[in-house]
Structure 1
């Protein structure tokens, strides 16, 4: 009889134990977007870069393993690092320390940013996107999401686009997401002009991604800007935030705002 009672008690208690397990905290958007770790200058760009809407479109969850390719000065790092700090993992695949002077300056500035705020960035894992023949941005098949923000034209210039797409594909789990935001050119634009201006056509990126095995899963106009005509002689850098244009054009270009951008969601086949 005592054995029966013990078994019954175990059956009754087990569900209660399962129900009391702590739930994973939801994404803390207020902390990520409005925390003191972000400068007012970077917060002001949320109007044009729409970080919450963009990451929600890609399907970001708090417990994901996420890789950001070429994070530059860390604009999106400021958002992703706190969102993934407690339950997820964040890899920043940055420049090689042996990639030349520009590469070293960019990487050095990024590392200084991380080092100045360990509470926010202490869990960031920095990996290397280069050299092209020996890249490991994260352990193969471990990432839930790989992100590329306005970098495709740079990889085209360096003739590393195909390899970069391959390493992104290799890092992802089957069913993982590859999210791309890029200055948008009209379809059919000459690739050399894309390299020169920073504007890349959707058809070019979709074809390149499909060539390594990605499947297009969705498009969003969250980062669209119909005011941007995209035909400036010196490219996207004539618009904010760079404003590398003649003084007489600056007021008009400020009124346009930042570039028109595509937002594409690809997936790695689960088969």
Structure 2
């Protein structure tokens, strides 16, 4: 009985997770009006809450690109947590796109050291560079709309394995990805940017993850996922015929799956 009472008292006195500063994350000066305008399509707060983000976590963002989500994540975790940004490898000098993307991202961080000073940039360039964070250190790994890119580079398995290694037992992998209709083959998925849920789930399970939950937070039933220019026909890229611009703007951003996986404890 004494043990039970002591346990209940310990739980009652345990510090609660601090409330996340969503106001600074979503409306702070680090975000441009253009980036804020994408919130209605990308639902960053709802998405990160679905993934279980809490104050003080160690988070890894895989392939952060220009840093759209980094701008949101940094003020949420930097105070008491840690954010790893696993960007392109520093040694991929032969690819101008990779070089420019990484350079732009580093410039963004350097321009606001107060906000991004606690962000650690690591390298994700399989097979040579796959240590996205110290092994077993991360509470949450997130991947936003880049599964198709890893498929094209034949690095999906290695990337998911890197995420699995970085996570603590019981940690979470959160994935948002453009969603293809069932039945699309691998070459069509890699080319269009749309990937089937079945393929993402199978790849994550192959890496050792277990599917924990799905959400329709980022679904868009207006998107038929059959555009000649693939997902890039839609905003914000809007690649393709100018006469179709109004049609694609009316569709909005892509239909997306939102999946939560766990690393078994």
- Superposition TM-score, scaled by structure 2 size: 0.93
Aligned to 1:90: 83
Post-superposition offset of 1:22: 7.8
1:90-239 equivalences under 5 Å are: 90-99=83-92, 100-239=95-234
Pairing 1:40–2:25 present: no
| 1:179/1:266 contact within 8 Å kept | yes
| 2:141/2:174 contact within 8 Å kept | yes
Runs of at least 4 residues of structure 1 off by over 4 A? 21-24
**What is the Cα-based RMSD across aligned positions, in Å?**
1.5
Which entry has the higher C-alpha Rg, 1 or 2?
Answer: 1
> What secondary structure does 1:200 align onto?
coil
> What secondary structure does 1:106 align onto?
helix
> What secondary structure does 2:139 align onto?
strand
> What secondary structure does 1:265 align onto?
strand
| 1:63/1:87 contact within 8 Å kept | yes
Pairing 1:255–2:250 present: yes
Post-superposition offset of 1:23: 6.4
> What secondary structure does 1:108 align onto?
helix
Aligned partners of 1:193, 1:31: CA distance in 2, in Å? 40
Pairing 1:78–2:71 present: yes
Aligned partners of 2:18, 2:168: CA distance in 1, in Å? 23
| 1:139/1:171 contact within 8 Å kept | yes
Aligned partners of 1:132, 1:183: CA distance in 2, in Å? 25
Aligned partners of 1:210, 1:25: CA distance in 2, in Å? 32
| 1:81/1:120 contact within 8 Å kept | yes
Shift in alpha-carbon separation, 1:50–1:231, aligned structure 2, 3 A: same
Post-superposition offset of 1:254: 0.3
What are the ranges of 5 or more consecutive residues in structure 2 without an aligned counterpart?
1-8
Instruction: Give CA deviations for 1:30-89 in whole Å, capped at 9, x if unaligned.
Output: 110001111000000001000000000000001110000000000000000000011111
Aligned to 2:6: none
Aligned partners of 1:269, 1:228: CA distance in 2, in Å? 34
| 1:24/1:87 contact within 8 Å kept | no
Aligned to 1:242: 237
